[in-house]
Amino acid sequence: MKTLRVPEATVTRLSIYSRFLERLDKNGVTTVSSGDIAEGVGVSPAQVRKDLAYFGEFGTRGVGYNVKDLMKYTLRILGLDKSWSLLLVGAGNLGFALCTYKGFNMRGFTIKAVFDNHPTKVGKQIGDLEVQSLDSFENMVEKYDAKIGIIAVPPKAAQEVADLMVKTGLKAILNFAPVALNIPDNVELRNVDLSVKLEILTFNLGFHEAENI
Amino acid sequence: MKTLRVPEATVTRLSIYSRFLERLDKNGVTTVSSGDIAEGVGVSPAQVRKDLAYFGEFGTRGVGYNVKDLMKYTLRILGLDKSWSLLLVGAGNLGFALCTYKGFNMRGFTIKAVFDNHPTKVGKQIGDLEVQSLDSFENMVEKYDAKIGIIAVPPKAAQEVADLMVKTGLKAILNFAPVALNIPDNVELRNVDLSVKLEILTFNLGFHEAENI
DNA sequence: TAGATTGTTAATCGATTAACAATC
DNA sequence: TAGATTGTTAATCGATTAACAATC
């Protein structure tokens, strides 16, 4: 069996191509070349073709790719041909923003329940969800057959929440708390760190200034 | 001159080491080895030493690193030995969450002004900031000597906001809108894409299932 | 001194880029 | 057919890992 390991960078770009293709499709574009995609998302045409080649042959030489087809293929590859139930822990401002974030729904993600252990938060309404105590977490995992949890609690509480998610059988965690979590290998973990990218910017700003001296 | 290009991955990790060192320092730890750091943030000891070696020799053989010193060095390298003024455009839920996000302040970032062009948003209070119309953007860039802008508007409005930021002289942009922005080379741009990492998770979940068949 | 740990070099690994034959 | 564009291979580039001399 041909089990070529797919670089994570390729998956990241695939997600971006996929969204770009949705936009083209919405605008009525029917055919697209690797060069068009490359220009639209800011990579090289060779990169686009190489990335797609990990998964099959989707284009026609001399012509390009059918937008609707390629869009569907990329969505399927990413696992987005079905919808995903998310459980969110942390009903602070970030949790609230994530609950109402349109970008998730547009890609087939639905936050089914929000949890927080702070007494002032429990019972609060966020959109059409009522914030629940963590006591009901396990029940909700079952009820919604959830596989993915989102952590949006302060750093100190994050590991405890992660442990709960692992214990209750979630298979993947998206962590917004700026700490390194300890998680068994069979659970997927990715971190979104809101300030790291900002620090890359300040690093680069400082560096450029230094070069001018 | 020794101008070794620093990989962006190294800068990213440096930001993470830096925060870990702050935590150690707060806990009263005075000395740390590359192995300790590696374990704390989930990389290899060799990686830690290699990353630091881009910037100098900060440790003592046989001993390790002085926590407080290394913390200060990493902060300085990242440009965080001074504070940074941020201008945020987009007073939706995400903008609100970013305004109140503690993680920024803890690293020396302060959002000085929030902007939105929607009539229902202008004048609204977010913490101690009043949402302003974009008409005052240029004035605020000057007033706060801002170098960095944050975009937290819907995808369709993002390019227009980016153009304004470039025109008014900002040097770096952190973009939360899920679109590829067109920006001149002399302005730094980084994107935080909230759903891409989620899609890496679903990709990996699907892939693992397939392997079991 | 013996043990520990750094800084650095060389080896390995992996990802990107360039080039081009295949083919519509 | 001529022009365009894919899929794929080979070459290049860059980052990570392993190993170890230096040295506290």
Residue B50 touches partner A, C-beta closer than 8 Å: no
This prediction has a pTM of 0.94
Find the residue in B nearest to A180 (Cα).
B41
Q: For strand C, which nucleotides have at least one atom less than 7 Å from a protein CB?
A: 3-9, 14-19, 22-24
Interval A86-145: pLDDT, tens: 999 999 999 999 999 999 999 999 999 999 999 999 999 999 999 999 999 999 999 999
Residue ranges matching CATH 1.10.10.10 in chain B: 8-77
Contact residues for A2 (Cβ-Cβ < 8 A; gap 6+)? none
Nearest to B147 among A6, A109, A205 (CB): A205
Residue ranges matching CATH 3.40.50.720 in chain A: 84-196
Tokens of A57: 């042959």
Residue B212 touches partner A, C-beta closer than 8 Å: no
Classified by CATH at the fold level, domain B84-196 comes out as: Rossmann fold (3.40.50)
Q: Which of B198, B205, B207 to mutate to test the interface with A (most CBs of A within 10 A)?
A: B198
Q: What is the per-residue pLDDT for A4? A: 66
Interval B39-79: pLDDT, tens: 999 999 999 999 999 999 999 999 999 999 999 999 999 99
Please identify which residue in the block is written with the tokens 């002032």.
A120
Tokens of A170: 């979630």
Q: Options 1.10.10.10, 3.30.70.141, 2.40.40.20, 1.10.3720.10; which CATH number does B8-77 get?
A: 1.10.10.10
Nearest to B78 among A8, A171, A199 (CB): A199
**pLDDT band at residue B4 using 50, 70 and 90 as cut-offs:** low
Residue ranges matching CATH 1.10.10.10 in chain A: 8-76
CB contact under 8 A, A198 and B107: yes
A191 neighbors A159 (Cβ within 8 angstroms): no
B29 touches strand C (CB under 7 A): no
Decide if domain A8-76 falls under CATH 3.30.70.360: no
CA distances from B31 to B17, B52, B55, B193 (A): 14, 16, 19, 36
**B145-157 mean pLDDT:** 97
B60 touches strand D (CB under 7 A): yes
Sign of CA dihedral A145, A147, A153, A158: positive
Paired residues of A173 in beta bridges: A149, A189
Read out DSSP for A63-106?
A: TEEEHHHHHHHHHHHTTTTS-EEEEEE--SHHHHHHHH-HHHHH
**B134-153 mean pLDDT:** 98
Is the per-residue pLDDT at B105 higher than 60?
A: yes
Residue ranges of chain A with per-residue pLDDT less than 70: 1-4, 207-213
CB contact under 8 A, A201 and B174: yes
Residues 156-175 of B with CB under 8 A from A: 171-172, 174
Q: What percent of chain B has pLDDT over 70?
A: 95
B27 neighbors B67 (Cβ within 8 angstroms): no
**B179-196 mean pLDDT:** 95
Residue A19 touches partner B, C-beta closer than 8 Å: yes
Q: What is the per-residue pLDDT for A74? A: 98
Chain B nearest CA to A199, separation (Å): 6
Q: What is the per-residue pLDDT for A19? A: 97
**B172-197 mean pLDDT:** 96
Chain B nearest CA to A212, separation (Å): 13
